[in-house]
Copies of this chain bind each other. A is one copy, B any other.
Amino acid sequence: MDKRMATLDKMVILENGGVGTAKGFTSGGRHIGLRYKRPDLGWIVSEVPASAAGVYTTNQFKAAPLKVTQKVIQQSHQLQAVLVNSVNANSCTGEQGIANAIQTQQWAAKKLGVPDDLVAVASTGVIGVQLPMDVMEKGIEGIDSACDEATFEQAILTTDTKEKHLAVQIVIDGQPVTIGGACKGSGMIHPNMATMLGFVTTDAAIEAADLQGALKTVTDNTFNRITVDGDTSTNDMVLVLANGAAGNQPLSAAHPEWQTFLGALEYVCRSLAKMIAADGEGATKLIEVQVSGAQDHVAAEKISKAIVGSSLVKTAIFGSDANWGRIVCAIGYSGASFNPDQVSLKLGDMLLFENGMPIAFDEDEAKQYLEQDSIVIKASVGSGDGFAVAWGCDLTYNYVKINASYRS
């Protein structure tokens, strides 16, 4: 990770960038009436067919649009458009759900002027309700990229409180290459393969197989390292489209600037993932957990996820209570092996626990630190090389409020 990041000295973050920023891509959103007022349909279009890669939920109940999109990418390895609706997940909807997903794919292809088999569809919202096809048909028909009433980034949100997007620019073969992305996700978020909807577009030239490899690599360190509530959704998916408009030599592991591309892609995915964690349902604070000294990266990952997933750690941080015993406890049940006598803990830069024993610390200073909106917990668990970072959020009254009344 560090090596890749080091290649990014010259990476530029583009102001207000998103999924429509890379050359040859446009995107938009509109309100079609799936819900009362807010935008609920989004689309992305590439001028030319783009190399495509995807990662999908590991949940055994896979939503209809996810199955349809997975098939498109497996067969054509390309995409030219993406259609996303919020409000309704089209999940647990049987054969009718699949037929509906394919129908919306066809309507979108026709309207956007691209082949059927190059359109991905994605849905997010309530499980177990069929899509209202009259609303979808009219809504897709009304797409007019010349006068978008909303952004793609707005249209894909459900319980999210913020739009989540960014774009960066690097230079490859002397050409500026842009990578932009957008995502949604606030509840039902847990690190287990693409835990939300994420869309990344780039004008880089790269073959689909290399793009798939790059996406898989960065997903493990980014989207798969966030948790809000431990629930893995039926609709989770991250798609990347690369349309080659930047004019660089095709990227692959053999390309001298491959690490630069991977680093920038990882930066985009990590930034999007952290935006999801920070905007977790009801969250008031982003929690970053850094684990070092573990036997190996797998052990470090287990420990980081146990800490960031602990309801007791999450509530303590909500209450600005430096209750380090709960962090230690989570390390202990993480399933990773380590020597308890070599465990040390920091909150930010404040040492709370060293070599298995409590350290006297200034409670007021700790409380002040915990009242910030971004908290870093550092756990050193031995002298190994294993290192991992995971992100999550606090558990608050509002998480309960949102989820005790989501459907009704």
Contacts and interface: CB of A to CB of B under 8 A. Distances in A.
What is the copy number of this chain in the assembly?
2
A318 interface: yes
A190 to B, nearest CB: 8
A406 interface: yes
Interface stretch (A9-17, A55-63, A251-259): A55-63
A126 interface: yes
A384 interface: no
Interface in A296-346: 309-312, 315-316, 318-319, 321, 323-326, 328-333, 337-338, 340
A400 interface: yes
A127 interface: yes
A60 B404 contact: no
Nearest to A402: B315
A117 to B, nearest CB: 26
A407 interface: yes
A368 interface: no
Given A94-B357, A323-B406, A407-B321, A234 B329 contact: yes
A46 interface: no
A91 interface: yes
Contact of A406 (B58, B126, B316, B332): B316
A98 to B, nearest CB: 12
A230 interface: yes
Given A60-B340, A231-B310, A333-B192, A400 B404 contact: no
Contact of A400 (B229, B233, B340, B397): B397
A355 to B, nearest CB: 9
Contact of A321 (B232, B353, B406): B406
Contacts of A337: 60
Interface residues of A, number: 61
Given A311-B311, A325-B91, A333 B59 contact: yes
Given A311-B231, A311-B403, A404-B319, A325 B127 contact: yes
Contacts of A400: 315, 318, 395-397, 399-400
Contacts of A358: 92-93, 128-129
A145 B331 CA distance: 40
A127 B395 CA distance: 21
A351 interface: no
Nearest to A91: B325
Interface string A376-408: 000000000000000000011101110111111
A187 interface: yes
A321 B402 CA distance: 12
Contact of A316 (B93, B309, B332, B404): B404
Contacts of A311: 229-231, 311, 399, 403
Contacts of A326: 127, 188, 231
22 contacts: A59-B332, A61-B329, A61-B332, A92-B325, A92-B358, A126-B325, A127-B325, A128-B353, A230-B230, A230-B309, A230-B310, A231-B310, A231-B312, A234-B332, A311-B399, A311-B403, A316-B403, A316-B404, A316-B407, A319-B405, A321-B407, A400-B400
Nearest first, the 4 closest Cβ-Cβ pairs linking A and B are: A127-B325, A319-B404, A315-B403, A61-B332
Interface of A: 58-61, 89, 91-94, 126-129, 187-188, 190, 192, 229-234, 309-312, 315-316, 318-319, 321, 323-326, 328-333, 337-338, 340, 353, 356-358, 395-397, 399-401, 403-408
Given A60-B337, A232-B329, A316-B403, 8 more contacts: A94-B357, A188-B312, A192-B333, A230-B309, A231-B326, A312-B403, A319-B403, A321-B406
